[in-house]
Amino acid sequence: MDRQEDVCEIACTDEEKVARVKQGMNAHNTMEVAKIFKALADDTRIKIAYSLTVQDELCVCDVANIVECTTATASHHLRLLRNLGLVKYRKEGKFVYYSLDDHHVKQLIQLAFEYQSEVSG
């Protein structure tokens, strides 16, 4: 594709649309949203997140087994997801169980996988 085909041939701006979008965007913290997508852009972390949409709660050992990594690696990824508020954990005796933080996170993961299935197949 020629580079010139994907840009406007003349510069013009619809000030009303631009103002409306900017106002809406300024009402949100786009950097925090970007952090969520950055965290999920890692193959291991998206596998963990997907696993937690299939099974509501998993211990660190189960997560490590599912994504085929060490428990230390799984714990590292789970901690990052927890720090971003995507997953939560609870400790029961010697076990630590993780789950998605809420239904919004589950919907986000499910929608991403549905979209990927539609565009690839």
50-92 pLDDT, tens digit per residue, is: 999 999 999 999 999 999 999 999 999 999 999 999 999 999 9
In the chain, % helix, strand, coil (3-state, to 5) comes to 65, 10, 25
For the whole model, what pTM was predicted? 0.85
Q: Longest Cα pair distance anywhere in the chain, in angstroms?
A: 66
Q: Give the CATH number of domain 13-120.
A: 1.10.10.10
The total of other beta-carbon atoms located within 10 Å of residue 75's CB is 19
The predicted pLDDT at position 74 comes to: 98
Using DSSP's 3-state secondary structure scheme, residue 51 falls into: helix
Domain ranges of the chain: 13-120
Residue 31 CB burial class (10 angstroms; 0-12, 13-18, ≥19): exposed
